[in-house]
Amino acid sequence: MRPDLLEVSGLVKTFRVGGGVFSTSATSLRAVDGVSFRVGYGDTLGIVGESGCGKSTLARLILQLTPVTEGSVRLEGEELVGLGRREMIRQRRKIQIVFQDTYGTLNGRMSAADVVAEPIRNFRLADGAALTARVARLLDLVGLPKDSAGKFPHQFSGGQRQRLGIARALAVEPKLVVCDEPVSALDVSVQAQILNLLKDLQRELKLSYVFIAHDLAVVRHVSRELAVMYLGRIVEIGEAGAIFAAPAHPYTKGLISSVPSSAGTGEGPRELLAGDVPSPMSPPTGCGFHTRCPQAMERCRSEAPPLRQVAAGRFSACHLHETAVTQF
Amino acid sequence: MVDSLLSVDGLTIDFLSREGSVRAVDGVSFNLRAGETLGIVGESGCGKSVTALSILRLLPRETSRIGAGRIVFDGEDLAAASERRLRQIRGNAISMIFQEPMVSLNPVMTIGDQLREVVVAHGRVPARDARRRCRELLDLVRISDGERRLNQYPHELSGGMRQRVMIAIALACDPKILIADEPTTALDVTVQAQILALIWNLQKSLGTAVMFISHDLRVIADIASRVVVMYAGRIVEEAPTAEIFARPLHPYTIGLLGAVPRLDAPVPDRLVEIPGTVPSPGERRAGCAFASRCDRRIERCRHEAPVLTSKAAGHRAACWVVADAS
């Protein structure tokens, strides 16, 4: 069987927290706790969850921007975890990232042309006139105006800076782009422009995306598959349309119902999930969600539910699925 | 004429700088009725927060100026009120909550001390009863374990909890108006739902009029009974909430509704794009400020700014194309 483009399995990231340099009292925080998924060629996996659920850490782990504690990340069958610096740099041609904060991730002293040309030069993909032509093509591809090449990041609007960030990511012709909250800092009218652009580019270049965002409607708009994270774990994963139509996990249900209806019914807002996400420093025992779950049982306090298949291509981690017929 | 609690009439606000002045808010008029929730929507730079801040005269005097207009509250023009009078009104009759409670709360004072400060300063409760009143306020905003919370510092609370504390402080003196400026924007969607439900319930039980400002029409949809849409310092449309979602008139409102992905509709292949970006106050030209981004513009839009025209009961829009259609 041909391997998928990206195969993540049993991924764990722990951070040491508290205590000083010489202290022995430090505890460890499991920011990502046994996450597995696959992303096919030309496919989009959306990842949602509240802040602190580990989605941005996961993005960094996929790109090996932070050391993996445990588990495996395979790109076209090749293991990325434990690769040396040189080999990892070679792999980065296939996998790129687009960030939320375009100010912080674009060098303010580099012109747009230099921002896009740098990765092409680094990989020695083109030089001279060929490089200039390629840069111009990329700026055009992401919809930046003709006179953009000589401009600096601060001369662009927020939406244009994000277009530039996308052009930089695409410069080395990657197969997979990890998008970490790419539109959450943008105004809604500009957000629509970027979402349409990402979809157009995917069709044109057969790109795969791992698309991370806190806005569920945005994620639903771009994703074929969806993973819902809570306290470092995937609690539900499957086909996005099916999950939004009939969520299986109580957390997914609460999350989806919390999104304002935009119907203007005048019936007032609905509050379905009480409380906050518990601190990952002292996660609850058993199922991490039991402190907020309206359907929590005795067993949920002591035993963490594994991901179980609940329908074709759909997995959910909840003890409720074991008893009786799954109801969703 | 509907009885209005707050009436903003022809409000114009200029920002002053060494290079000259720019108009941030340009002839804005609206009414807030007793006990209603009015939503004010628009993208960044449209003047919604500036309008809100000007009601309590919280804009810095050195860099901003109310050029024209009146802000009438209870028969009194706040635009002309003295600083002394404004201090009596702020936090008392009209109070305000903001997007980031961590910035508005004092990090080195306990929650209890910050609540007590407001309760005592406005002289509503004798000092010896202050702690009891603080507990009541925490109960009101559904913070459990109030006694312990009073001794905690802001950093010990979650974002949602901090916003609840801000709401408690804002409601300490039973204000007639609560101005909420993007109070849920920094919060997770589940916590946002909790805060929206809290504001909704408090509004119903206390009868406070709420002016709710947001960039997100979806948030406004659930909480407001009427909506004002702002663009580039002006009101472009005003209507009852259900009406604006069912029959939006202004091309900008229509664009905004189509640009936002929704959960309660099938996924469209493409979202509606409004080309370009919101012009900054310095870039605004004569005519309709939206004309350069509008796909329905006519010649007239280029040189003459449209006025708000009534198209149905309580439904006004500022657009020449809409005005000409019968």
Are B74 and B16 members of one domain?
A: yes
Does residue B42 belong to the interface with chain A, where contact is any CB pair within 8 Å? no
Question: pLDDT tens digits, residue range A220-279?
Answer: 999 999 999 999 999 999 999 999 999 999 999 999 988 887 555 556 777 678 888 888
Q: Are residues B84 and B208 in the same domain?
A: yes
Same domain, A88 and A131: no
Give Cα separations from B48 to A183, B54, B180, B233 (angstroms).
22, 10, 11, 8
Same domain, B261 and B180: yes
Convert the pLDDT of each residue in B89-139 to its tens digit. 998 999 999 988 788 899 999 999 999 999 888 877 888 888 999 999 999
Q: Which residue in chain A has the smallest CA separation from B202?
A: A268
Provide the pLDDT for residue B141. 93
| A179 and A89 belong to one structural domain | yes
pLDDT, averaged across chain A: 90
Q: Are residues A158 and A193 in the same domain?
A: no
What is the pLDDT averaged over residues B51-63?
Answer: 93
**Residue A42 · residue A207 · CB < 8 Å:** yes
Alpha-carbon distance B251 to B318, whole Å? 10
CB < 8 Å from B in window 239-278 of A: 241, 244, 254-274, 276-277
List of chain A residues whose C-beta atoms are within 8 Å of the C-beta of residue B275? 193
Q: Which of A208, A210, A181, A114 is nearest to A153 (CA)?
A: A114
- Our CA-based measurement puts residue A217 at a distance from the nearest CA of chain B, in whole angstroms, of 5
Under 8 Å CB pairs connecting chains A and B tally to 149
Q: Does A221 touch chain B (CB under 8 A)?
A: yes
Give the residue from A226, A259, A267, A270 with the most B CB atoms within 10 Å of its CB, the best one to mutate: A259
How many CB atoms lie under 10 A from the CB of residue B314? 12
Q: Which residue has the tokens 């002591």?
A: A302
Q: In A, which residues are within 8 Å of B161 by CB distance?
A: 276
Count of CB atoms situated within 10 Å of the CB of B60: 9
Distance CA(A265)–CA(A214), nearest Å, equals 24
- Are B11 and B243 a contacting pair, CB within 8 Å? no
DSSP A192: H
Closest CA to B228 of B49, B71, B48, B99: B48
Report the number of distinct structural domains present in chain B: 2
Tell me: do B45 and B184 sit in the same domain. yes
Based on the fold, state whether residues A90 and A220 are members of the same structural domain: yes
Nearest CB partner across the interface for A259, out of B256, B263, B271:
B263
User: Which pLDDT score, from 0 to 100, does residue B275 have?
Assistant: 86
Give yes or no: residues B168 and B180 share one domain.
no
In contact, A124 and A171? CB cutoff 8 Å: no
Residues B25 and B85 grouped into a single domain? yes
Q: Are residues B88 and B115 in the same domain?
A: no
- Name the 3-class secondary structure at B27: strand
Looking at A121, A145, A173, the residue that finishes a domain is A173
- Asked whether residue B89 falls in the same domain as residue B164, the answer is no
Cβ neighbour number for residue A306 with a 10 Å cutoff: 11
Torsion angle of the four alpha carbons A161, A167, A171, A174, in this order, in degrees rounded to the nearest 10? 110
Q: Residue type at B280? A: S
In a domain, A242, yes or no: yes
Asked if residue A315 belongs to a domain, the reply is: no
Calpha distance A279→A37 (Å, rounded): 25
Asked whether the beta carbons of A58 and A12 are under 8 A apart, the reply is: no
ipTM, two decimals, is: 0.85
pLDDT digits (tens, 9 = 90+) for A156-187: 988 899 999 999 999 999 999 999 999 988 88
Tens digit of each residue's pLDDT (9 = 90 or more) over B135-166: 999 999 999 888 899 999 999 998 889 999 99
Cα separation, B241 vs A268, whole angstroms: 12
- Do the domain assignments include residue B242? yes
Q: Are residues A144 and A38 in the same domain?
A: no
Whole-number pLDDT of residue B187: 86
Which helix (H) or strand (E) segment holds residue B151: the answer is none
Which residue is closest to A219 within chain B, CA to CA?
B261
pLDDT of residue A218: 94
The pLDDT > 70 percentage for chain B reads 99
On the question of pLDDT at A199 being above 50, the answer is yes
Say how many C-beta atoms besides its own lie within 10 A of residue B235's C-beta: 26
User: With an 8 Å Cβ cutoff, is B74 touching chain A?
Assistant: no
B75 and B180 housed in the same domain: yes
Q: Is residue A296 part of a domain?
A: no
Interface test with B, best of A189, A215, A223 (most B CBs within 10 A): A189
**Mean pLDDT across the stretch B3-28?**
91
> Is residue A23's pLDDT more than 70?
no
Enumerate the β-bridge partners of residue B41.
Answer: B214, B229
| Residue A138 one-letter amino acid | L
Mutation to test the B interface, candidates A56, A102, A188, most B Cβ within 10 Å:
A188
Q: Supply the pLDDT for residue A24.
A: 66
Among B residues 195-224, those touching chain A with beta carbons less than 8 Å apart? 196-198, 200-201, 204, 215-219, 221-223
Looking at the fold, whether A4 and A85 belong to one and the same domain comes out as yes
In a domain, B88, yes or no: yes
Half-sphere exposure of B289 (CA within 13 A, CB side): 25
CB contact under 8 A, A263 and B161: no
Residue of A159, A188, A268 lying closest to B256 (CB–CB): A188
Tell me, yes or no, whether B226 and B83 share the same domain: yes
Chain-centroid distance of CA B320 in Å reads 27
Domain-ending residue, one of A199, A222, A250: A250
CB B100 within 8 A of CB B181: no
Shared domain for A193 and A52, answered yes or no, is: yes
| Residues of chain B neighbouring A267 (CB-CB closer than 8 A) | 222
Residue A273: predicted pLDDT: 85
Element (H, E) at A80: none
Q: Are residues A84 and A195 both part of a single domain?
A: yes
Contact B277 A187 (CB under 8 A): yes
Q: Indicate yes or no: CB of A277 within 8 angstroms of CB of B241.
A: no
More confident: B304 or B286: B304
Average pLDDT over residues B191-208: 92
Residues 152-181 of A with CB under 8 A from B: 157-159
Domain count, chain A: 2
Is B251 part of a structural domain of the chain? yes
Which residue of B193, B221, B272 is in closest CB contact with A264?
B221
Is it the case that residue B284 has pLDDT exceeding 90? no
Single residue among B216, B244, B268 that ends a domain in this structure: B268
Q: Which tens digits make up the pLDDT trace of B216-235?
A: 888 888 899 999 999 999 99
Let me know if residue B11 belongs to a domain.
yes
In the numeric block, the tokens 């981690």 are attached to A317
All residues of chain A having their beta carbon less than 8 Å from the beta carbon of residue B244 are: 264
Contact state of A189 with B158 under an 8 Å Cβ cutoff: no
What's the rounded mean pLDDT across residues A28-46? 94
CA distance A107 to A70: 33
The answer to whether position B316 is within a domain reads no
Is the separation of the CB atoms in A133 and A157 below 8 Å? no
Domain boundary among B143, B172, B201: B172
Domain that holds residue B27: 4-93+176-268
CB distance A176 to A208 below 8 Å? yes
Mutation target among B141, B149, B244, B277 for the A interface, most CBs of A within 10 A: B277
* Nearest residue to B298 via CA among B279, B325, B321: B321
Domain around A237: 1-18+27-94+174-250
Amino acid letter, residue B180: A
A129 — pLDDT class (breaks 50, 70, 90): very high
Please tell me the predicted confidence (pLDDT) of residue A51: 86
Residues of B in contact with A189 (CB under 8 A): 43, 255-256, 259, 273-274, 277-278
CA closest to A279 among chain B residues: B158
Verify that A128 and A5 share a domain, yes or no: no
Contacts of A158 in chain B (CB under 8 A): 277
Same domain, B56 and B8: yes
**Cα atoms in the Cβ-side hemisphere of radius 13 Å centred on A109:** 0
Interface test with B, best of A276, A291, A293 (most B CBs within 10 A): A276
Q: What pLDDT score was predicted for residue A16?
A: 85
Q: Tokens in use for A182?
A: 């790419």
Q: How many CB atoms lie within 10 A of CB A18?
A: 11
Residue B189 to residue A216, Cβ atoms within 8 A: yes
User: Which CATH number does the domain housing residue A5 bear?
Assistant: 3.40.50.300
Cβ <8 Å between B260 and A192: yes
- pLDDT for A272 equals 76
Is the same domain home to A82 and A13?
yes
CB contact under 8 A, B259 and A220: no
Are B28 and B74 contained in the same domain?
yes
Strands A95-98 and A308-311: unpaired
Type and span of the H or E element at A102 = helix A102-105
Q: Do A159 and B241 touch (CB under 8 A)?
A: no
Residue A307 belongs to a domain? no
Is a pLDDT exceeding 50 seen at residue A54? yes
Per the domain annotation, does B64 fall within a domain?
yes
Among the listed residues B233, B232, B230, B281, the one whose alpha carbon sits nearest the alpha carbon of residue B17: B281
Q: Read off the amino acid at residue A315.
A: F
Residue B217 corresponds to which amino acid? L
CA B242 to chain CA mean position, Å: 19
Residue B85 lies in a domain: yes
What contacts B161, CB < 8 A, 6 or more positions away?
A276, B143, B149
Chain B residues with CB under 8 Å of A220 CB are 261, 263, 267
Q: Are residues A56 and A196 in the same domain?
A: yes
Place of tokens 């774990």: A233
Contacts of A278 in chain B (CB under 8 A): none
The single residue listed with the structure tokens 């975890």 is: A81
List Cβ<8 Å contacts ≥24 apart for B99-105.
B99/B181, B99/B182, B99/B183, B99/B185, B99/B186, B100/B186, B101/B154, B101/B159, B101/B162, B101/B163, B101/B165, B101/B166, B102/B154, B102/B155, B102/B159, B102/B162, B104/B166, B105/B154, B105/B162, B105/B165, B105/B166
Which of residues 131 through 150 in chain A touch B, CB cutoff 8 A? Answer: none
3-state secondary structure A159-191: HHHHHHHHHHHHCCCCCEEEEECCCCCCCHHHH
Encoded tokens for B54: 């000007």
Model confidence at A327: pLDDT above 80: no
* CATH code (residue B186): 3.40.50.300
Whole-angstrom distance, CA of residue B232 vs CA of residue B132: 46
In a domain, B182, yes or no: yes
Q: How confident is the model at residue B1 (pLDDT cuts 50, 70, 90)?
A: very low
pLDDT band of residue B2 (cuts 50, 70, 90) is low
Task: Say if residue B296's pLDDT is above 70.
Answer: yes
> Structure pTM?
0.89
Query: Which of A2, A233, A145, A312 lies closest to B276 in space, CA to CA?
Result: A145
Domain boundary among the residues A173, A199, A222 is at A173
Q: Is the confidence at residue A328, as pLDDT, over 60?
A: no
Residues of B in contact with A221 (CB under 8 A): 261, 267, 271
Last residue of a domain, one of B172, B188, B204: B172
A49 and A159 in a single domain? The answer is: no
CB–CB contact A261 B158 (8 Å)? no
